[in-house]
Structure 1
Amino acid sequence: YGSIPYVDHKNNKETNPFTFNKMADIYETIVDNLDTINACLKHYEQRPGWYKSRLNGILQQSDWVTKDFSIDTWRRFANSLKLRMAMHIVKVDRTKAQKWAQEAVTEGVIETENQEIALDPVVSGFTHPLVDISKLWGDSRLNASFESLLFSLKHPYVQDDYALFEKNSSQIVNETNPEEIEPTNSRIVGLRAGISMVSGQTVSVNPRIAYSAVSSNRISMAPLYLMKLSEVQFLRAEGAVRNWAMGGSAQSFYEAGIRSAQLDQRTNSQYGEKVDEYMSVEEPVAYAYTDPMDHTNDIASVTKIGVKWNEGDTPETKLEKIITQKYIAGFPYSYEAWNDLRRTGYPKIFPVLNVEDGDGSLVQGDLIRKIPLPGRDTSAGLSDIQTSGIEALGGTDTQGTRVWWDVEGSNF
């Protein structure tokens, strides 16, 4: 949003008027809270036995997101969140970003798969919601930029024996040449971002439904990560490229991040069998995206980097490699990917189509920089936005307005 009534929400205020707070102030408050949480949880091991026993009982009963029901893991989660937030602000306040990041690493962040924070379908008894969203609702399909990126880098996610996405579920007929037909189950094919869609959730009324959905077999039991080990490793890799004290080299964290990046359960060994070959890719494949329905959407790959780490690369190229692999590892969790796209410009993606369908503020080809301030669906909410929201935002409440930490300019 760029700004929210953070203090009011934190105080459980439920009715208007709400007062919006500046994002810079919100970040300061959250990091202060995380520091307090970390300091508190550090004392756990010095607590008496009866205290630890009672707390362990509460964790065993109520903790659904850690694997080890450990206070230390919760503490590491707090510090990992601080590290994430530090990297968000690197272009608006590099000194503070470095300070927060180094403090987080010193205090201890997530360092093993057993310390990841996630809702696990195996434990919780549900399937990954993206399966229903994609397969039952017909509301989600592979993005063409992601298709191109994965094929350009020869990623395991698009290899036939390990594909994360299904091939087209029905034949796809070209709109201008009906004799040009993509046969059923012939290829993995995505949709361009911003494409004009038609209503309907069956192929008979909306042919775009035939484009690639996620594989139920591969994703149904995948964890819903709140903090994935690979994200923390890529954050530390980026910090190391910036010459911050991250406890290791950029290369070591980058390569570790790729090894721990798989979406499905870690018990599936196929990713591990393929990852060495993937990490040896030095140059991208000259891939070209083609839209079977409308060739005006066709476009050549914009991926110009490989996967293999090269210490001789410029810091900018190293950053692009890190963020590109972080983007892949984060799928399908979208918010951090969106944050990275806005603050770094990576990974490189196709220009967004039909930006005129937005609110008129978007630059041709650019992605949405923020979503409208919350509460505008009521007169009271609009009044709050006019009274404090616009001032706290520091700009117009439009899709093209950059939030506080999303500043133009060099990444270094």
Structure 2
Amino acid sequence: MKNIYRLGVLAATLGFLATSCTENFEELNKNPREITQEQLEGDFQHVGSKYKPVFESIYIFNPGWQYQLQQNLNADAYAGYLTPPNPFQNGSNNTTYNLVSGWNNTIWSVPYSNVMNNVKDIESLTQGEYPTLYAVSLILKVEAMHRVSDVFGPIVYTNFGDLDNAGVYDSQEEAYDAFFADLDTAVDNLMADIESPRFTAFDLAYGGDYSKWVRFANSLRLRLAIRISKVAPEKAKLQGEKALSHPLGVMAGNDDGFFVTSTNSHPLAQIDNSWGDTRMNASMESIMGGYNDPRINAYFSEVNPGDSETEPIVPGTLKGIRNGLPLLDGYADASAQKADYVRFGVINDDLTQYTVQLMTAAEVAFLKAEAALRGWTGAGDAQANYEMGIALSFEQRGVGSADDYIADNTSVPADYVDPVYPSNNINALTNATIAWDGADDNETKLEKIITQKWIAVFPDGQEAWSEFRRTGYPKIFPVVSNQSPGTIDTDIQIRRIPFVDSELSTNAEGVAGAVTKLGGPDNGGTRLWWDTGAPNF
């Protein structure tokens, strides 16, 4: 209401000026160096300038601390990828399931402020006149907001910007239906003018190539279809087969991957290499180390042991840290106190150079492998897709041929040995091997598919955490210290983030409605709509 009032005052003031000044007022007062609206519209800058914050907020690029709160101190840890070596908030925080509301506000606020607001502006400037520009904004919106829904469940999506219903949440099922509908509109718009170069100057991913945007949209549809395959199998099959049967298809090669280019380096470069606030998770050490996976050296490097004369406990071996550690001063890593003799894994510099990975051809191959297990038309052969996913990931990471790795039918995840506190030691939770065996049942095959997908999509912890919750794979070590108030089961692990304080204080009625659509209490132990807990097959 305050904004409407202010707009009314502004309109009245402008009207007064228009009737009080000379007819040549605009010409006399024009700044010759100022870019006019006409000039902006001539090269679409009035629209194009709004895309950059959208691209860079699917997860935030800069400042690094916002990414740290948006994803690193929740999904990256819950996925078994990374974990902090330092005891934030005296060791009682998100990673130990004492969920910090002030941290979690960022997960919600960044996509709404930087994505939804800008996409709404793009819609008002383009819809009906520049349908391809509108189409790209829809794809970006779905990419950003399905991640938000996969954290909280119900979200404000279809009602966003509606003055009468702005605070009304969609259930997660309603949100997913809207995602599919938006992808329909986007693909139809792009296919109608596929050769247009209009978006080239603003494209931080594909250089204005609308064919690649369509393949990304189809791949995103396939991801979302697989996500709901247990809870809504018929809808999932329909949407998945729509993606697979499209004339332009889904991502097939590494040049199809969705990588956002920026003038900022990956935020992990700051959080990890500058601040020392995150390190390799023990689950990464167990799985990739046990598999002798050469990609581990593309992902991580050793912490510089500094000037310590102490011999490394495990020479030349990258070490991970158990997730959910309580107060452990010894885990202030090599740049600080006691553990300067432990070579914990830090993010490899090559992984943080001015691009953010949000979807890869390898992931799509694994999606097709699962779709084949589920009998979806157009998915191809499950084994061929599985092996292609591994090969594409090896190619992407530049680690040589994947042939020997694909054929390995003996290596299994390794037991974890804590280099500082033996009480944190834990045996591997699975004996799954790498090589495909056609005689295996579908559950065993799925574990292999999801485990390899988990390795390939690193460092996108949000996608990895979602797939872990949906399938139970890979088998990630539980937290050492569960400090939830009895709401999160240590073995089942965390399922979602509760609705945030900023919404509770400004939209209490909307949140109350969202909780009724959640299907359980508003805490970290309640499963999302697609997280059924049922067997995968």
- The TM tier, using the shorter chain, reads 0.7 to 0.9
Mapped to 2, the partners of 1:353 and 1:303 lie a distance apart of 19
Give the aligned partner of residue 320 of structure 1. Answer: 447
Helix, strand or coil at the partner of 2:357: strand
Give yes or no for the alignment of 1:145 onto 2:271: no
Which is helix-richer, 1 or 2? 2
Per-residue deviation, 1:288: 2.1
CA contact 2:488–2:525 (8 Å) conserved in 1: yes
CA contact 1:118–1:223 (8 Å) conserved in 2: yes
Give yes or no for the alignment of 1:240 onto 2:391: no
Kindly provide the CA deviation profile for residues 334-371 of structure 1, in whole angstroms up to 9, marking residues without a partner as x.
1111111111100112122222x124211123321000
Per-residue deviation, 1:245: 1.4
Mapped to 2, the partners of 1:389 and 1:206 lie a distance apart of 46
Per-residue deviation, 1:3: 1.0
- Once the two structures are superposed, the pairs formed by residues 106-255 of structure 1 within 5 Å of their partners are 106-107=245-246, 108-120=249-261, 124-158=262-296, 162=297, 164-170=299-305, 182-183=312-313, 186-197=316-327, 203-205=335-337, 207=339, 212-221=344-353, 223-255=355-387
Kindly provide the CA deviation profile for residues 29-88 of structure 1, in whole angstroms up to 9, marking residues without a partner as x.
11011112112222225xxxxxx5xx41x322111111x531111111111111111111
What letter corresponds to residue 246 of structure 1 in structure 2?
Answer: G
Q: Unpaired runs of 5+ in structure 1?
A: 46-51, 174-179
1:61 counterpart (169, 176, 201): 201
Helix, strand or coil at the partner of 1:166: strand
Cα gap change, 1:325 to 1:25, in 2 (>3 Å): same
The worse-fitting range, judged by mean Cα deviation, of 15-24 and 29-38 is 15-24
Give the aligned partner of residue 288 of structure 1. Answer: 415
RMSD over aligned Cα atoms: 2.8
Cα gap change, 1:316 to 1:211, in 2 (>3 Å): same
CA contact 1:135–1:213 (8 Å) conserved in 2: no
CA contact 1:165–1:214 (8 Å) conserved in 2: yes
Mapped to 2, the partners of 1:104 and 1:117 lie a distance apart of 16
CA contact 2:433–2:448 (8 Å) conserved in 1: yes
Kindly provide the CA deviation profile for residues 280-312 of structure 1, in whole angstroms up to 9, marking residues without a partner as x.
110224622111111011012223111111111
What letter corresponds to residue 167 of structure 1 in structure 2?
Answer: E
CA contact 2:223–2:367 (8 Å) conserved in 1: yes
What letter corresponds to residue 159 of structure 2 in structure 1?
Answer: D
What letter corresponds to residue 229 of structure 2 in structure 1?
Answer: V
CA contact 2:372–2:381 (8 Å) conserved in 1: yes
Mapped to 2, the partners of 1:310 and 1:157 lie a distance apart of 23
- With the length of structure 1 as denominator, give the TM-score of the two structures: 0.84
Q: Unpaired runs of 5+ in structure 2?
A: 1-151
- Once the two structures are superposed, the pairs formed by residues 268-347 of structure 1 within 5 Å of their partners are 269=398, 271-273=399-401, 275-285=402-412, 287-347=414-474
Mapped to 1, the partners of 2:325 and 2:335 lie a distance apart of 17
Cα gap change, 1:186 to 1:113, in 2 (>3 Å): closer
What letter corresponds to residue 3 of structure 1 in structure 2?
Answer: P
Mapped to 1, the partners of 2:354 and 2:451 lie a distance apart of 21
Per-residue deviation, 1:205: 4.5
Per-residue deviation, 1:197: 4.5
What letter corresponds to residue 22 of structure 1 in structure 2?
Answer: S
Mapped to 2, the partners of 1:106 and 1:134 lie a distance apart of 42
Helix, strand or coil at the partner of 2:522: coil
Mapped to 2, the partners of 1:113 and 1:72 lie a distance apart of 15
Give the aligned partner of residue 391 of structure 1. Answer: 516
CA contact 1:3–1:393 (8 Å) conserved in 2: yes
- With the length of structure 2 as denominator, give the TM-score of the two structures: 0.65
Give the aligned partner of residue 27 of structure 1. Answer: 176
Kindly provide the CA deviation profile for residues 212-236 of structure 1, in whole angstroms up to 9, marking residues without a partner as x.
2334443233742222111111100
Question: Could you tell me the percent identity over the aligned residues?
Answer: 33
Cα gap change, 1:147 to 1:222, in 2 (>3 Å): farther
What letter corresponds to residue 165 of structure 1 in structure 2?
Answer: F
Per-residue deviation, 1:400: 0.3
Give the aligned partner of residue 478 of structure 2. Answer: 351
CA contact 1:169–1:185 (8 Å) conserved in 2: no
Mapped to 1, the partners of 2:323 and 2:215 lie a distance apart of 36
CA contact 2:272–2:346 (8 Å) conserved in 1: yes
